[in-house]
Amino acid sequence: MKLTLLYLAATVSLLAQVGLAVKQEDFKTSEQVAFYRRHRAFADGVGKESQLLGKSTGASQTASPYSVLQDSVHLDGHTLVASVQHGADKVPLKLNVSFLDKGIVRIRGQEADPLKARFDDTQKLVLRDGGANLKYASADSLQLTSEAVNGETVHTVWFRDTNNTASLRMTERPWTVEYVLNNKPSILLNSKGLFHFEHLREKPGADGEVDGADGAWEETFRSWTDTKPRGPESFGLDISFSGYEHVYGIPEHASSLSLKSTRGGGKDAYSQPYRLYNLDVFEHDLDSPMALYGSIPFMVAHNSESTVGVFWLNAAETWIDVTREKSSTLGNLFRLGAASKEPSVSTHWISESGVMDVFLLPGPSAADLYKQYADLVEQTPLPREFALGYHQCRWNYLDQADVLTVNDKLQEHAIPYDVIWLDIEHTDGKRYFTWDSGKFPDPVAMQQKLAYNGHQLVTVIDPHIKRDTEYRIWKEANDKGYFVKNKEGADNFQGWCWPGDSNWVDYLNPDAASWISSQFHLDKYNGSTPNLFVWNDMNEPSVFNGPEISMDKDIKHYGGWEHRDLHNIFGMLYHKATADGLRTRESPDKRPFVLSRAYFAGSQRYGAVWTGDNAANWEHLRASIPMVLSNNVAGMHFVGADVGGFFGNPTPELMTRWYQLGIWYPFFRAHAHIDTKRREPWVFGEPYLTHIRNAIRERYRLLPYWYTLFREASLTGMPLVRPMWMEFPKETSMFSEDSSFMVGSAILVVPATDADTNQPLDVRLPTQENWYDIRSHAAYIGPLKRQFGSDLTTTLVFARGGSIIPTRERQRGSSELMRRDPITLYVYVSRTGTATGRLYLDDGETYSYQNGAFIERELSFENATLTSRPSPRTKSSPEQLEFLKAMSKVRVERVVVVGMRNPLTKAVV
């Protein structure tokens, strides 16, 4: 009884936060993290020594204590091997610098002879094919030279790459690395001397400290003590982007698109580093580097000449400082002359455990960069087509009758939708894979009723399993030993979440992951049908009575690994297991749909994510834009924000504006907290109902364009929604723009996000090109900066001249009902009278497209002639012939040419 009362108290405490801001005291600042404090102290010491060294030599230099051991450098096939050592520690580190296809450079480091193994499975779980089939450069394309420069040895590897003239230079004393692209330094490692590697060691005596190390063997946060049985094992490295002023990515943070400085002061600078540590944060702050629900350690730097990236492959807690400078120390580092005066962004990456594993991506274009990144972590696969439609959700629809009433009301008001969602209250006492039989007496009949008009159902299945000996899921997992263990490694780790006392399946265990996948099969998940899909929530993981509302770091996973080693991939492993279960529940396999709150690099392979528990206010509406864009920059493309805001009650004006923006999120879902008022589109009455319906219908009209964009992403890795700089890479005024964005290459969206719904909006139409209002077709010639009116009847969306956009103009109740509808092509001509585009169609649910069952047409318009050609990827196969037969009645019924100087008088087909 005591545990139950404690659990209830914890739940009430959490729900009481609904109207409040985040409880900052529940989460650590950098000053409360011992490994960060140690690296910060090391960095400050190096900085002081470097200043003293600079004064004595009259030039800026680094005082890094790490040097390359003499005669250790050699080229072994595609890998440059070196041994690096701290001047005082005398523990050699083995560094492997590998050269991959497309100019990618990989740098891995750990002890040459480690006292014990470091966690190194992140690469197997994140990289394409577990990293086994990465394409490496051929040995004969690499050449190593070594020379003495001002008495110091510099090793240079020259290599051929189709996009860059590239070389990598490494100095011995101190150890530094420089990636030179087209004769310009681009990415510098340890140029500030902040590289520091805490080698594994034996635990000392009773004082629990090592050489005065702060919090090395034990650390307490509030009432929780981390025993740290392995001792200190963190590492840090400074990575500088020479010639760049803007860096992007590393979601998830409620921050600006262009990452702000965290050290060195300056306008709008943060006082804390960016943190990557998946956390359940109720009603998170805005404009903050605080950790949120997902972590992708991929950073992109861009200037008017090139785009480069760094992928820091580590799943442990990671902090990243960002500093901006106006000069580089490069010239002095290599004794090659005066330092450049170009701008530079210096970043300092610090991870708690694991192996140092860093990828340098050379670009030079955004398209090149995303092909390189996709080579590492794979592209976003084609989703189920229905997942691109509108999702209607709240915590919680009350019962089966409520669900069917919402379905009927959406149809009554002619609002298309594809999915209704059920939150935790649909279950029998928060026991997942079950139904509350009083509220949902016949879930199969309910799903069949929805499916009749092409609608799907999503149920939430969280990772915590209610501790109940009569509950089949818990009993099987417990009997098989599939739960995460406590810090001693013997008993199950136990914590509190929605059901009360709970245990968590250990998805690092492949047998446990396979078992949980099987629970999603139709013969195991009672009451499920092929039209039911899944939502993974609370999978950071969220533990109500744990440190920072998560798991203790020293509890044990499969293989004896501590949770600290894999925290940031825990949610992704559950996401994967769920997707695998849905994919294999039918024969042949069908594409799954799974939404996850927690994510990491690689999560894009398994489904969609969303930005988490936002609030119903104008500030959160505005913040959703850079959050969605930052995820796309980092390769997590299928992402959205809760339309309307999760917490609180939106005004009709806010709700309308959020729908008008939300239709441009790749993942489009309205969601609300259990304590909020009902807010389905019809609730607000007129004129808001009409405005919201028109917005949703616009999403459905453009589904052929969206699906074609997903096809592009699945092939190239390019983001679906793009920052302005990505499409206009030389427009420096666009480099920090995050209030407008591109959807693909053809559509510019300028959302209204101000409470004054009559306030004019500042619009910048870049480049010397035609732009067209996507509805009225009014033409504007760029570059143009002017104000446009935007009342609630108006949304500012522009088609880019030179684009062909496919649509379906007939309004239906769901995307499935539109599948055989005819296509309309809008040709928005460029200033030279030309346009290009693409149309892609497949069955929207199976994998038969991999065997050729698709239609993909390359469209071009020139000399007043529209040409449609099959894509080079088109291949003849039995599957293709069958698909063509099924689609034989689908046609292009209209071609609308917009922007011709001379009106067309006839068309010949």
Q: What percentage of the chain's residues is helix, strand, coil (to nearest 5)?
A: 25, 25, 45
Q: Which residues contact 617 (CB under 8 A, 6 or more apart)?
A: 645, 648, 650, 654
State yes or no: is 537 an active-site residue: yes
Q: Which residues contact 283 (CB under 8 A, 6 or more apart)?
A: 17, 18, 20, 21, 22, 613, 614, 615, 647
Confirm if 465 and 427 have CB atoms less than 8 A apart. Answer: no
Radius of gyration over alpha carbons of the chain, in Å? 28
- DSSP for 372-394 reads HHHHHH-PPPP--GGGGSEEE--
**Per the residue annotation, which of 238, 537, 554, 642 is the catalytic one?**
537
* Helices 472-480 + 510-518 axis angle, to 10: 160
Give the single-character DSSP code of 48. H
Backbone angles phi, psi at 346, to 5 degrees: -105, 130
Tokens of 24: 């900052």
Residue 79 forms beta bridges with which residues? 76, 98
Confirm if 97 and 82 have CB atoms less than 8 A apart. Answer: yes
User: What three-state secondary structure class fits 810?
Assistant: coil
Q: Using CA atoms, how far apart are residues 689 and 418, in angstroms rounded to an integer?
A: 18
Tokens of 384: 């189920």
**Per the residue annotation, which of 121, 418, 506, 613 is the catalytic one?**
613
Secondary structure (H, E, C), 550-590: CCCCCCECHHHCEHHHHHHHHHHHHHHHHHHHHHCCCCCCE
| Tokens 């976003």, located at residue | 380
Confirm if 596 and 606 have CB atoms less than 8 A apart. Answer: yes
Q: Using CA atoms, how far apart are residues 624 and 657, in angstroms rounded to an integer?
A: 13
Tokens of 318: 């990671």
Could you give the C-alpha distances from 277 to 318, 485, 670, in angstroms and in order? 7, 21, 26
**Among the listed residues 168, 160, 53, the one whose alpha carbon sits nearest the alpha carbon of residue 106:** 168
| Tokens 């004969």, located at residue | 140
Confirm if 720 and 710 have CB atoms less than 8 A apart. Answer: yes
Tokens of 561: 């690994």
Tokens of 387: 């997942």
Paired sense of beta strands 93-99 and 79-86, if any: antiparallel
Q: Using CA atoms, how far apart are residues 892 and 450, in angstroms rounded to an integer?
A: 30
**Among the listed residues 317, 330, 308, the one whose alpha carbon sits nearest the alpha carbon of residue 104:** 308
State yes or no: is 506 an active-site residue: no
Tokens of 762: 């500042």
User: What three-state secondary structure class fits 278?
Assistant: coil
* CB under 8 A, 24+ apart: contacts of 207-213: 213/38
Paired sense of beta strands 419-422 and 456-460, if any: parallel
Q: Using CA atoms, how far apart are residues 672 and 683, in angstroms rounded to an integer?
A: 14
Q: Which residues contact 698 (CB under 8 A, 6 or more apart)?
A: 663
**Among the listed residues 599, 663, 665, the one whose alpha carbon sits nearest the alpha carbon of residue 634:** 599
Cα 558–chain centre separation: 26
Paired sense of beta strands 176-181 and 318-325, if any: unpaired
Q: Using CA atoms, how far apart are residues 713 and 707, in angstroms rounded to an integer?
A: 10
Tokens of 173: 């004393």
- Which DSSP helix (H) or strand (E) runs through 68? strand 66-68
Confirm if 700 and 815 have CB atoms less than 8 A apart. Answer: yes
Residues labelled catalytic: 537, 613
